[in-house]
Each structure stands twice: as C-alpha cells, then as structure tokens.
Amino acid sequence: MRLLTPALLSAGLVLFLTALPARSSAAVDEELEELMYSLKRHLKGAAQALQDPSMEAEALDHIAQLQAAAHAAKVLEPSNLDEIPEGERAQHVRSYRRDMAEVLGVLVDMEIDVLEGRREEAAGKLADPLYKLREAAHEKYQD
C-alpha cells in the first residue's frame, strides 16, 4: 500500500492535468482586449506627458506600460485567427507577432528619445509610425 500510494498519486495527477482544459480562445481574446485597452490608455497618457517638459517621469512610466502591454500581447493570437484558412494560420500568427514586435521596437526607440532629451521626437512617433502601425494591424488582425 505504501508503495502504491505515490504511484496512484502521480497517476491521479497526470489524469487531472490532462483533463484540464487548454486556455480557451475566449480567454485569450479577453486578455488581448485588456492589453489593447492598456495600450489605448497609456498612449493617451504618453501623448499628454510628452507635451510637458516637467512630466518626463510620467512619460517614461507610460512608455514602460506600453512596452509591457506590447510585450505581453505579441505572444497571444490575433482574434480573427478562426477566419483564416487552416494552412495559413501559423503564418498569420507569425505575422501578428512580427507586427507587434515592431510596435515594441518603436516604443523602445521612444524611450531612448526621451532619455536622450528628444522629447518632441518621441511625441512625433505617436502619429508616425505608431498610429499607422495600429491602423494597419487592426485591418489585418481584428475580427
């Protein structure tokens, strides 16, 4: 019985783990939606803070939050994946990740701009390329 108990426990654990549902696509969608609203909120905050030289710390904080959201979002799946033919889905996910990584790269450039005293240049990147990347991405990946 003593020997049997660990074996039974591990068999039970395996059964339990295999019975756990994979994260549903609805949960992934919800996570992405939250991250998108975080992008929206912090983009607005960054735009305001970047207008005011005395708000550099706030601007850097919003940019850091934007980076965190883009970093988390790039490993999720685009919400229109179900509409893509099965054979093209892997490439669609790859392309989504690539486009979000580009956004992350712009956000890192903005941080460097601010830290090197180019606040106005950082502010300019909100409209071009960030806004343009957002529009193109929504066209491609929103359901």
Contact residues toward ligand HEM (CB under 6 A) are 29, 32-33, 36-37, 39-40, 43, 78-79, 96, 99-100, 103, 130, 133-134, 137-138, 141-143
The minimum distance between CB 89 and ligand HEM, in angstroms, equals 14
The minimum distance between CB 84 and ligand HEM, in angstroms, equals 12
- Whole-number Å distance between alpha carbons of 60 and 63: 5
For ligand HEM, the closer CB: 9 or 44: 44
For ligand HEM, the closer CB: 86 or 143: 143
The minimum distance between CB 49 and ligand HEM, in angstroms, equals 16
List of residues 6+ apart from 135 with CB closer than 8 A: none
List of residues 6+ apart from 63 with CB closer than 8 A: 42, 46, 107, 110, 111, 114, 122
For ligand HEM, the closer CB: 29 or 56: 29
In Å, how far are 10, 59, 60, 92, 93 from 99, measured between CA atoms?
42, 23, 23, 11, 10
Q: Which strand (E) or helix (H) includes residue 34?
A: helix 25-49
For ligand HEM, the closer CB: 92 or 119: 92
For ligand HEM, the closer CB: 10 or 51: 51
The minimum distance between CB 120 and ligand HEM, in angstroms, equals 20
The minimum distance between CB 31 and ligand HEM, in angstroms, equals 9
For residue 80, report the phi and psi dihedrals to the nearest 5 degrees.
-95, 15
Whether the CB-CB separation of 104 and 57 falls below 8 Å is answered with no
